[in-house]
Amino acid sequence: MSMAQDGLPPLREVIATHGLHARKSLGQNFLLDLNLTSKIARRAGALDQCDVLEVGPGPGGLTRALLMEGARKVVAIERDERCLPALEQVSAAYPGRLEVIHGDALEINPLDHLSPPVRIVANLPYNVGTELLVRWLTPETWPPYWQSLTLMFQKEVAQRIVAAPGSKAYGRLSVLAQWRTEARIAFELPPQAFTPPPKVTSAVVHLERLETPRFPANARNLSRIVALAFGQRRKMLRASLKSLGPDVESRIAEAGIEPTQRAEQLSVEDFCRLSNRLLPD
Ligand code: SAM
């Protein structure tokens, strides 16, 4: 039996041994090439002084890469209990460096298990990834407990995260991400990189936190304004924000913004000003 570079069995064998046929309901598309998972781990930054939070380790391809790249400790949250024995083997190969938590990442607060600096890395189902991304970007206070996020998305979502005003992809995710982080698409991955292959191309996005947000605003209020404005993105702001009160049109103008503009024309700075004017703390 041939072994991988880390002395553990190749991932195809891990999957066969533990009967890990991918479940669609859990968004399971596995990465079985350790060269590829190492590329993702390296893109996360220098790991040797960091704890890493990994969400959705599955059979452990990315987990193994994070450990090989020298992460001080990896805390991995996995919902599918079928994966736990395989992850246990990884844990045994790296004594004291991998802690696996069985559960739903949307329900678990991993903070008790991590010490700063923390980097977050994940190849997650896209809906869970988007939900977690928004939560990671919108805590009340800033900076957050993490330094960076390195996340797999479908390419179209990745493009939304980094999109500039005026483009079709520009939306809620662009504003929230670019307000508080430096967000870049690191590289794309074709469907064949995954087992089973998904229908679409994927992309790894790297977001490095800014120490202070680009413009002052309250996270909850900004999220609300952006959700309203892009909820009806083809409408003028005076219509999409109408629910905020009868005088909304004049207050939009007071923020220095034309009430006849549409959400996609506003910069991140415009949204912050609008939020501060329309929803003062
Ligand atoms: N990281 C592995 C890889 O790259 O091969 C697996 C990636 S697969 C796309 C997503 C993984 O996330 C699956 O193992 C799935 O069971 C897990 N998962 C799905 N929803 C989850 C949730 N809410 N919380 C934690 N893990 C979840």
Going from the Cα of 279 to the center of ligand 1, the distance in angstroms, rounded, reads: 37
Going from the Cα of 132 to the center of ligand 1, the distance in angstroms, rounded, reads: 13
CATH number at residue 70: 3.40.50.150
Strands (E), the chain: 30-31, 51-55, 73-78, 98-102, 118-123, 146-154, 181-189, 194-195, 202-209
- Nearest residue by C-alpha to atom 18 in ligand 1: 56
Going from the Cα of 148 to the center of ligand 1, the distance in angstroms, rounded, reads: 19
Same domain, 136 and 198: yes
**108-113: long-range pairs with CB below 8 Å, 24+:** 108/77, 110/53, 110/75, 110/77, 111/145, 113/75
> How high is the pLDDT of residue 201?
98
Q: d(Cα 195, Cα 29) in Å, to the nearest integer?
A: 5
Same domain, 136 and 225: no
For the stretch 193-206, pLDDT in tens is: 999 999 999 999 99
- Last residue of some domain: 209, 233, 266? 209
Same domain, 86 and 131: yes
Domain membership flag for residue 133: yes
- Nearest residue by C-alpha to atom 19 in ligand 1: 26
> How high is the pLDDT of residue 281?
78
Same domain, 225 and 109: no
Length of the chain: 281
Q: What is the DSSP letter of 236?
A: B
Same domain, 26 and 105: yes
- Nearest residue by C-alpha to atom 14 in ligand 1: 58
Domain membership flag for residue 139: yes
Is-contact 194 29, C-beta < 8 A? yes
pTM for this one? 0.97
Around ligand 1, the residues with Cβ closer than 6 Å are 26-31, 55-58, 61-62, 77-80, 83, 104-106, 123-125, 128
Going from the Cα of 100 to the center of ligand 1, the distance in angstroms, rounded, reads: 13
Domain membership flag for residue 36: yes
Same domain, 141 and 40: yes
- Note if the bond before 117 is cis, omega within 30 degrees: yes
Same domain, 120 and 251: no
* Ligand 1 atom at minimal distance to the Cα of residue 124: 10
Domain membership flag for residue 269: yes
Going from the Cα of 133 to the center of ligand 1, the distance in angstroms, rounded, reads: 15
CATH number at residue 271: 1.10.8.100
> How high is the pLDDT of residue 186?
98
> What is the domain extent for residue 135?
11-209
* Ligand 1 atom at minimal distance to the Cα of residue 30: 5
Same domain, 129 and 245: no
Burial class of residue 117 in the structure, from the number of CB atoms within 10 Å of its CB (0-12 exposed, 13-18 middle, 19+ buried): middle
- Nearest residue by C-alpha to atom 10 in ligand 1: 124
Q: d(Cα 229, Cα 268) in Å, to the nearest integer?
A: 13
- Last residue of some domain: 209, 239, 259? 209
- Last residue of some domain: 209, 239, 262? 209
Going from the Cα of 280 to the center of ligand 1, the distance in angstroms, rounded, reads: 39
**105-114: long-range pairs with CB below 8 Å, 24+:** 105/55, 105/56, 105/77, 105/79, 105/132, 106/131, 106/132, 108/77, 110/53, 110/75, 110/77, 111/145, 113/75, 114/51, 114/53, 114/73, 114/75, 114/145
Is-contact 255 268, C-beta < 8 A? no
For the stretch 65-104, pLDDT in tens is: 999 999 999 999 999 999 999 999 999 999 999 999 999 9
> What are the residue ranges in the chain where pLDDT is below 50?
none
Both tokens assigned to 79: 């919902």
Q: d(Cα 151, Cα 158) in Å, to the nearest integer?
A: 9
Same domain, 202 and 235: no
